[in-house]
Amino acid sequence: MLNLPLPQKKSKTYWNKLYGSSLALSIVEASHAHTDGPLVVIVEDVTHADILTREIEFYKDDKQIIYHLPDWETLPYDIFSPHQDIIAERLTTLHALQAIRGGDILIIPLNTLAQRLAPRSYIQGNVLSLKVNQQLDIAGFRRNLEASGYINVTEVMEHGEFAIRGSIIDLFPASSTMPYRIDLFDDEIESIRCFDPQSQRSDNKVESVDLLPAREFPTDEAGIANFRTRYREMLHGDPLNSIIYKSVSDGIMPSGIEYYLPVFYGEDELDTLFDYLPKSSLYIVPGELEQQLQVFESEVNERYEQRRHDIERPILSPEYLYQTTHEITSELETSSVIYTSLKKSTDDTHNARVKTPPDLILQTRLDEPAQALNNYINDFISTQKGRLLFVAETGGRREVLTELLRGHKIHPKVCADWQEFLHSDDKICITVSEIAHGLVLLEPGPEATTALKTDIAVITESQIYGQRAIQKRRRKKRGADSDNIVQNLTDLTIGAPVVHIDHGVGRYLGLEKLSGDGYDAEFLLLEYAGGDKLYVPVSSLHLISRYTGASAENAPVHKLGSDQWAKARKKAAKQARDVAAELLDIHARRAAVQGRSYPVDENEYASFCNSFPFEETPDQETTIRAVLDDLRSPQPMDRVVCGDVGFGKTEVAMRAAFVVANCGKQVAILVPTTLLAQQHFQNFSDRFADWPIKVACLSRFNTAKKQKEILDDLAKGKVDIVVGTHKL
């Protein structure tokens, strides 16, 4: 459809005028034409990788497989390790690359392109295969898992963990989205099932499973011995002063160990991405790739200079960890490469057959907010004889957008995806996808099929409601939300009171290493009344929480084995029931009182929300839904929204204020200080600037005349939202 050229073997070409999401569509088309090798798409960072992945998923058919090789999502030389899910995704992709097919698509950020990677021989040579009816030596299997970087825990929750309980083995392979439970009968695998790490319930039998290594380097005795030798060769200073050297020597992989990857391998043993990929690969890169690589190289060198003198954590020089810009561009010079750009080329054969996506944002100040959208649709359908596909982010948003269109006598047909739209005859359709950018395809030409011989416009929500800040999808993890949960050992200080869920309040005395069954493990040491000691495995950290009662000095210390803790829990439960009964009584009386219901205009509300310059957090979304439900209800609202500074409480208040003001009622925002009143007034004024909603502020900064004027306007209904201190 876009008719863009492909380069000859080991040469380069250019794709220009790639407006909107046309790059994604171009890549999909190229994947059909280039079947000799995979398409390797280099992007600026993980955010652009995520956006492009969504857009390619939207345009592609079932033939292409998309691979994503993420970076570690840490700064160069960081003391933090990547999330285990990131490591798992990297290992899965590196393993898959060795069998990647022609036409498949690999998307990588440019800093991943620059990284030196674990050798292919390590990734391939450390795959453990299990299948039903296979003989399995548990002791040997445990050693193999630990050598591959798996961590022995009491309960498997994340990638790279395993637990052995008698004849049952739980493990979470790097290449799997779910952990597996292996049942043994004597020394034979009887069954392999997936299980839910939250509920621990197992289902879905499988016949076999392959286990990739859990780390990008070996952690067995040979790997540690090699690390000790190579460390002395590659790094300066006394190794005994180094936390890294001593920890690895003890079999403990410290945080940030990934930036010592070369130390685990021999000289020149590491690979690069070019080593993993076939020579027939087609590289699609930004036109300014070299400049972007130079910027990244400068950042790496700057971080190196900042941290190179740390005696406890000496670091490797950049050439051990990254390829230089010159090395990368030299590799690309001997490869097939497409350079992409938004600029228009003088050679029209290199320009995508697209136009700039139209600006159709609802103009809330006008009598006809959707006039631009309505005019564009009529012109595109009637005059240009084109076809339109609207794209909403979710099924619920699709319904909101559909209602908006129906209000202008436009009735789109729901279609499953882009492919169904292409092969239908409907003029206007609507579908669901998370793509960020739209597209206007010009008439493809005589070589296209009958269904495609027309202009096509893809219009996304952001073109109608305003551009949201595009952020990569979060890794969502279920768990307790309480602030008193201990998330990391660094949260604990020696002598601090802590609460064990089964044994009560004790004092944290630090970490101790104990040996058992020939294996060393670390334990938290807790002291209870009478000097009794309790050793808690580090893997059971979730059983420990901070003591949040009185001051730490006055915290009680319970007696191990006594019923003191049980009595305290029983007393607390009774008090909780008493409070619950009182709350139920209050709730019942409140439910009998009738208040005012505030219906939500979904179209205008969606437009207001899209001016929020960030992505809502899960807690924000939950809170906003609850507040809107309260506003819709005829019962009076009685809700407290709690959150730390900067966690988004004001946005919740703004959305509630918008709904109420949009219903013709007035809103008062009461704040404790004059300074806060001014800040909120400015924020509310900026946010409501595009709406016919007047915001005012009552504080001592106003003159008496101004105060009277605002109060008069309030009484006359001329002010919709007022922010103020006790002056209110």
Give, in degrees to the nearest 5, the angle at Cα 253 between 251 and 259.
135
Dist CA 36 CA 594 (whole Å):
71
- What proportion of the chain, given as a percentage, has pLDDT over 70? 94
Residue 559, pLDDT score: 87
Bridge partners (DSSP) of residue 521 are 514
Per residue in 667-718, pLDDT (tens digit) is 999 998 888 888 888 889 888 888 889 999 988 777 788 888 899 999 999 9
Instruction: Note the helical H segments in 308-385.
Output: 318-321, 325-333, 371-378
Under the banding of pLDDT at 50, 70 and 90, the label for residue 444 is: low
Dist CA 14 CA 345 (whole Å):
9
Dist CA 410 CA 590 (whole Å):
44
Nearest to 453, CA basis, from 462, 445, 465, 461:
445
Give, in degrees to the nearest 5, the angle at Cα 723 between 717 and 724.
110
Dist CA 423 CA 389 (whole Å):
12
Bridge partners (DSSP) of residue 129 are 210
Q: How many CA atoms lie within 13 A of 624 on its CB side?
A: 21
| Per-chain mean pLDDT for the chain | 87
Looking at residues 160-181, what average pLDDT do you find? Answer: 90
Residue bearing tokens 């933090």: 80
- How far, CA to CA in Å, does 308 sit from each of 77, 227, 290, 311, 313? 9, 19, 26, 8, 9
Whether 12-115+276-330+340-349 and 353-465 share one fold: the answer is yes
* 3-class state of residue 573 by DSSP: helix
Cβ contacts of residue 106 below 8 Å, gap of 6+?
A: 38, 39, 40, 41, 66, 67, 68, 69, 93, 97, 100, 277
Looking at residues 70-98, what average pLDDT do you find? Answer: 92
Residue 165, pLDDT score: 86
Chain centroid to Cα 326, Å, comes to 32
- If phi over 0 gives left and psi between -120 and 50 gives alpha, with beta otherwise, what is residue 555? beta
By the 8 A CB rule, do 386 and 456 touch?
Answer: yes
Checking if the pLDDT of 468 tops 70, the result is no
- If phi over 0 gives left and psi between -120 and 50 gives alpha, with beta otherwise, what is residue 356? beta
Residue 364, pLDDT score: 63
Strands 667-670 and 695-698: unpaired
Q: Which CATH architecture has domain 353-465?
A: 3-Layer(aba) Sandwich (3.40)
Under the banding of pLDDT at 50, 70 and 90, the label for residue 51 is: very high
Dist CA 135 CA 297 (whole Å):
50
Under the banding of pLDDT at 50, 70 and 90, the label for residue 550 is: low
Dist CA 306 CA 298 (whole Å):
12
DSSP letters for 542-572? GGEEE--SS-GGG---PPTTSSHHHHHHHHH
By the 8 A CB rule, do 697 and 690 touch?
Answer: no
203, with CB counted inside 10 A (0-12, 13-18, 19+), is exposed
E strands, 671-720, where? Answer: 695-698
Dist CA 40 CA 67 (whole Å):
9
Residues in the chain: 728
Per residue in 120-156, pLDDT (tens digit) is 999 988 898 899 999 999 989 998 898 888 988 888 8
12-115+276-330+340-349 in CATH: which number?
A: 3.40.50.11180
Dist CA 159 CA 57 (whole Å):
25
Nearest to 193, CA basis, from 128, 143, 147, 130:
130
The two tokens of residue 620 are: 């924000």
By the 8 A CB rule, do 4 and 350 touch?
Answer: yes
Q: What residues does each domain of the chain span?
A: 12-115+276-330+340-349, 128-211, 353-465
Q: Which CATH architecture has domain 128-211?
A: 2-Layer Sandwich (3.30)
Residue 379, pLDDT score: 86
Per residue in 7-47, pLDDT (tens digit) is 988 899 999 999 999 999 999 999 999 989 999 999 999 98
Strand arrangement of the beta sheet that strand 12-15 belongs to: 12-15, 336-340, 282-286, 39-43, 105-109, 66-68
Rg of the chain over CA atoms, in angstroms?
A: 31
Q: How many CA atoms lie within 13 A of 663 on its CB side?
A: 17
Report the chain's terminal Cα–Cα distance, integer Å. 62
Under the banding of pLDDT at 50, 70 and 90, the label for residue 479 is: very low
